[in-house]
Structure 1
């Protein structure tokens, strides 16, 4: 049974936090259905007019226009509110906005309201327009900050979709790197557009920050897509966070269908992180909020999909879902770029302030690890396992990832741990290379260069993914496509395509000891693993080419838009 308008709004007044506001937004539709629009609007009016808490007043105004409710007329709204929240409310009422900006973000918002921003207008298309969001790490180079394999996949998928006759265009939505610019641009000659949505923050948003900016993201996205002729037929979100809820709100206001990719996280993460006691209460509250967010997105989506067909665990965490309600799709990769003639392997030996290989590593099997520096990726655990297992005597380890400057706290923490481990074992000097993130283009070329020059032992070079889990593993697919031998975690989605001992290996990555044992067992097989690397390459090239992967996505989008 839906909460009464009074109880619903009173919950925000008693617990005035951004996540409570986000929860309020999700519960308003049910309250309106059960108690009526008039009663809900009246309670919003009473609460907005009586509260002394400016943040609560702002959230209630935003919750109102997000659900096309108008508790205050324009003059009343001007009496109790100011700034972006007031302007969003007035804009929803069709009222002009006149104000003086107090920040670059406010100036940008007023410029859009006054049509003082020059923006492109896309030409009409006959096929459906698909919007996909990438609000976490969307503007960074893959491997920097929060940007990873999903960034690579969405770019490749968009380009593959727009080359088809049955898809009109694709719009990728990311957050602008700074609150002073708004950019809408077409990517080269393809009908793939990127919309960079500004947020009122001097730094890139992390997931816990999204709820505070939910209404702003929705407002900008709805405004920009409509203004530029990019209104979507289908919107696809992939994160269980308030950013996805903001994009889902824009989809609803624009009349688009919603697709949500569901994963066992964050339910699995919550169960594992707090098995007995509460631990960090702040972290636990946010993890619980993400669980609710995932539940809301599942409920709101016109289609829920899973990655790689792993439905059992998803159904365990989402009991309202049924197998018939899910569609299983796979991710994939674009073909590797052509060689340039420049040796990227030599870059691993170039002098640097960070560890690099030296002549003692020449001819040894390389264990390559590529990805963002993050606790879930477990680069320090990989280094520890490599050292404690004594693998530094017979192999070289190369870690590529992280920002070169302005590192996030997670990046700096992981890097510090890796460097401390590197310095703890003098005999490993020259056998470990640590490099900041490379472009995906250069990573692919490096992988192919390594695969083409196997060690004298005949054993293939190895791609060592030490993550606690991988939902799918785009970087692993790319390494397998090049011909590297893939070793990855038992947990997660790699088992959808890695058959242990046939086309790769799955190992326990829960602790340094067991990871070291798993790596050692594979490395000791030597040249006997060469056919396994070849089988892995065959698997990826036959099954995960981006054009083949794009076909079921296109079919799903066509069905929903029809």
Structure 2
């Protein structure tokens, strides 16, 4: 292999291919070129990563802020904190899509909320020493490593050579860089993990898995039916564009690769049958099913969050005609998979604007992604299309998770019935739905996905067909039409969440798994 790499590197005239080949050598600790040969063929970050792996000094002039930052780390010119030794296993978890931004902005969603609360719950336990959450830095000009106040929970912001936040299709070009930064930063800051947990089927997770291998850490991978299911459904009729098909195939390969490399594969909420259908290489007896959960609700504040739905704004807000109506609430990132425009259309076509108010919360306040802007534009156009609906729909940018939960509790305390309307194509689990159920709202969610593992239709919530405006509108109209008769469903929903999904209870099996993996070898799944 080394000789083949050497021949390929010395014969190629394609600098991009040369960069990829040299990074492959670095990752696998191969030395196809001497330091001088490498310097003669390439320049920039890929060369520096290779020289660093060989223990060679790097002397170069940076051509960008990102390169300066990289050289500063190589020359030990960055002021970074060093964590004291941990009293127990160190767990790293990655969240490279969305990061720790406000949930509902950009790509940040329910996983942001869950991983933050899970980390805090884990480090409060005596059997976990430390948790490190890995995210991408918002810009390529700084690197930050911070500890959460009062807890041994650290966040490492990994810089990438990009002026904008990375989307999944962009991750491949930055995979080697993410691996290098992560492995370097974790060692430099005394945060080297015993166990690393990844949750997306993409190049970001592959980069983190590469770092885990270099650091000698165990790897956990949360597997879902997607992207295999998505590939089969999206391209069934052969009309999708080639680029989209190629990317979906790439994600399938990434998922299969992570399954093969993981020391433990887990599923969300016990949805093993569908997972096994798409991953026949898995041993059902080796799979581990873990559920997600939510933190306790935040303390109330001295202002009415409901009143803010009526405040003046450039975006639509409620008026006095909506003051005593049941509210349909939808919270989350603005994305085609979340189907907020379909929800607005269903609300209008089912005539629900005549007897309910609709509140949609999500999206960035400024600098919206193309997905966010497209969804928002469609929502606003639909809101304007029906004059009788004006004053009965509110569209707000993302709120903090604490304020969303306070709003839900405030709504539930006013009677109702108020409904949490999850209009997504599917939800693998649904943290936002759990939060709404805990507050006492009636939960309505998609039949597709994983919500059926805790939502029993008609008993503690409702599963509806979200594939069309007609079916979604019919499902919502049925729930609203139940009126006071739906109160026991809301009570049962709240009990389900409080009995099964409190974050401290959910953290226990995660801690048990991590501790077992950290203690010794596990047969790979």
Q: Shorter chain as normaliser: what TM range?
A: over 0.9
* 1:472 and 2:429 matched: yes
What whole-Å deviation, never above 9, does each CA across 1:500-555 have from its counterpart, x for those lacking one? 00000000000000111111111111100011001100100111000000000000
Q: Does the residue aligned with 2:154 lie in a helix, a strand or coil? A: strand
- 1:445-484 equivalences in 2 (<5 Å): 445-455=406-416, 460-484=417-441
CA distance, structure 2, for counterparts of residue 476 and residue 554 of structure 1: 24
What whole-Å deviation, never above 9, does each CA across 1:3-49 have from its counterpart, x for those lacking one? xxxxxxxxxxxxxxxxxxxxxxxxxxxxxxxxxxxxx0000001001
CA distance, structure 2, for counterparts of residue 341 and residue 526 of structure 1: 30
Q: Does the residue aligned with 1:488 lie in a helix, a strand or coil? A: strand
* 1:319 and 2:280 matched: yes
CA distance, structure 2, for counterparts of residue 538 and residue 292 of structure 1: 40
Which of 71, 80, 89 matches 1:110? 71
Q: Does the residue aligned with 1:170 lie in a helix, a strand or coil? A: strand
- 1:396-411 equivalences in 2 (<5 Å): 396-411=357-372
Partner of 2:346: 385
Partner of 2:455: 498
Partner of 1:527: 484
Partner of 2:473: 516
Structure 1, unaligned runs of 5 or more: 1-39
Higher relative contact order (CA 8 A, sep 6+): 2
Partner of 2:35: 74
- 1:310-349 equivalences in 2 (<5 Å): 310-349=271-310
Q: Does the residue aligned with 1:105 lie in a helix, a strand or coil? A: helix
Deviation at 1:352, TM superposition (A): 0.7
What whole-Å deviation, never above 9, does each CA across 1:215-246 have from its counterpart, x for those lacking one? 00000000000000000000000000000000
CA distance, structure 2, for counterparts of residue 331 and residue 535 of structure 1: 19
CA distance, structure 2, for counterparts of residue 159 and residue 170 of structure 1: 8
* 1:557 and 2:514 matched: yes
Q: Does the residue aligned with 1:243 lie in a helix, a strand or coil? A: helix
CA distance, structure 2, for counterparts of residue 213 and residue 283 of structure 1: 19
CA distance, structure 1, for counterparts of residue 19 and residue 36 of structure 2: 16
Deviation at 1:278, TM superposition (A): 4.4
CA distance, structure 1, for counterparts of residue 300 and residue 239 of structure 2: 52
Which of 393, 404, 421 matches 1:443? 404
Structure 2, unaligned runs of 5 or more: 520-525
Relative to the length of structure 1, the TM-score reads 0.92
Which of 109, 133, 136 matches 1:175? 136
What whole-Å deviation, never above 9, does each CA across 1:352-380 have from its counterpart, x for those lacking one? 11110000001100000000000000000
RMSD, aligned α-carbons: 0.6
Deviation at 1:189, TM superposition (A): 1.1
Q: Does the residue aligned with 1:99 lie in a helix, a strand or coil? A: coil
CA distance, structure 2, for counterparts of residue 346 and residue 130 of structure 1: 42
Relative to the length of structure 2, the TM-score reads 0.98
Deviation at 1:126, TM superposition (A): 2.5
Q: Which aligned segments of 4 or more residues in structure 1 are displaced greater than 6 angstroms?
A: none
Partner of 1:146: 107
CA distance, structure 1, for counterparts of residue 339 and residue 272 of structure 2: 26
Which of 15, 18, 21 matches 1:54? 15
What whole-Å deviation, never above 9, does each CA across 1:197-222 have from its counterpart, x for those lacking one? 00000000000000000000000000
CA distance, structure 2, for counterparts of residue 147 and residue 223 of structure 1: 26
Q: Does the residue aligned with 2:432 lie in a helix, a strand or coil? A: helix
Q: Does the residue aligned with 2:274 lie in a helix, a strand or coil? A: helix
Which of 254, 257, 262 matches 1:293? 254
Q: Does the residue aligned with 2:266 lie in a helix, a strand or coil? A: strand
Instruction: Give the count of matched residue pairs.
Output: 519
CA distance, structure 1, for counterparts of residue 515 and residue 239 of structure 2: 45
